[in-house]
Homo-oligomer: A and B are copies of this chain.
């Protein structure tokens, strides 16, 4: 077939057999066996009528978990950062002003998104570990009445703090702004009420409190946001993430037209995870996260850990804690992983080497995980 020998020869690489970790970091979270097994279901075509029916159900399930009637509710074929970029590139046109609230890593990523989309980012900064200050946002709005969008992170994965999404959306409406909300870590763990709060564009991740496989991003856009996309004067800079094109596949019209090949098996998994979410009921799911947080909190405080975030703003699904004095966090984290197959997260940025982020997301948020974690810590400390 080809004249010469192959230039690059084979090496011997065998199948990968991952260890059985417990995932108690900032995500991915543990996946229920039922959801994990759904990944290996038979692959069918992305235009198969049966697959299209599954996609309709997935849209309905996405609406339920976001608590919205938004017609443009779907799952982006990429991880949370692709979902984030979908929101920014579709809503921003060159020259647009966007207020970005930053109180951790992910607000900084939003700034990058605004600038790379040709917009101007007006930064409202708060300390890491503190919620977004609504007064500062109101001031920024007064100083910039031509602001088009307010973007903020509902649940900061870098610090475990929850901001007042409802209040921020109310403020945005007063100034006739659209909102872009990062719900990567909040969705499925604490209330995220898209219609009640009036969120315009929201994205999340599959691998946090929804406990599906990493690599997908559920999104939802309000009618107002869809209008903004339809009225764009310029093309969206990304072909792959251009919702005016993607909608033709997800839209549920008479005929779905091909845009890109959907990640079939990953979507089976997302469907199954959301079916389980629906079976449990969102209210019960939120309560479960809250209850498990209280159990973990009591145990960690007994061991001398203390929380970074003030009580009213703590995320039950992501516990950012300072270790007891004098402990080498890196060494202990390594022992947890190697001796107990237990993953907890380290700190980021200024908190690197100082805090842990202990996740109780989705399927991880159960008594067994909390007890296992506390027992492991008792044996090490």
Contact = CB atoms under 8 A, between A and B. Distances in A.
A46 B46 CA distance: 28
B82 A263 contact: no
A90 B179 CA distance: 29
A145 interface: no
A81 B77 CA distance: 10
Interface stretch (A169-177, A276-284, A320-328, A366-374): A276-284
Contact of A1 (B68, B263, B287): B287
A27 B69 CA distance: 33
B215 A264 contact: yes
Interface in A165-212: 191, 193, 195-196, 205, 207
A274 to B, nearest CB: 8
Contact of A17 (B41, B61, B283): B41
Contact of A15 (B9, B21, B38): B38
Copies of this chain held together in the complex = 2
Contacts of A30: 43
Contacts of A281: 10
Nearest to A1: B286
Given A57-B16, A266-B213, A239 B78 contact: no
A268 B16 contact: yes
Nearest to A344: B45
A280 to B, nearest CB: 10
A278 B13 contact: yes
Contact of A44 (B2, B18, B85, B116): B18
B67 A44 contact: no
Interface stretch (A47-55, A121-129, A225-233, A293-301): A47-55
A135 interface: no
Q: Is the interface of A mostly helix, strand, loop or mixed?
A: loop
Contacts of A264: 28, 207, 213-215
B237 A116 contact: yes
Given A240-B82, A261-B205, A261-B214, A21 B40 contact: no
Nearest to A260: B81
Contact of A2 (B18, B117, B191, B238): B191
B278 A10 contact: yes
A117 B240 CA distance: 12
A278 B13 CA distance: 8
A162 interface: no
A331 to B, nearest CB: 15
A265 interface: yes
Contacts of A262: 79, 214-215
A191 B8 CA distance: 13
A329 to B, nearest CB: 15
A136 interface: no
A63 interface: yes
B40 A195 contact: no
A1 B191 contact: yes
A93 interface: no
Interface string A15-32: 111111101010110110
B64 A48 contact: no
Interface of A: 1-2, 4, 6-11, 13-21, 23, 25, 27-28, 30-31, 34, 36-46, 48-51, 54, 57, 60-61, 63-64, 67-69, 77-82, 84-85, 109, 112-113, 115-117, 191, 193, 195-196, 205, 207, 213-216, 235-240, 258-266, 268-269, 271-272, 275, 278, 281-283, 286-287, 290, 337, 343, 348
Q: Which 7 pairs show the lowest CB-CB distances between chains A and B? A: A215-B263, A39-B39, A81-B260, A78-B78, A40-B40, A213-B265, A214-B261
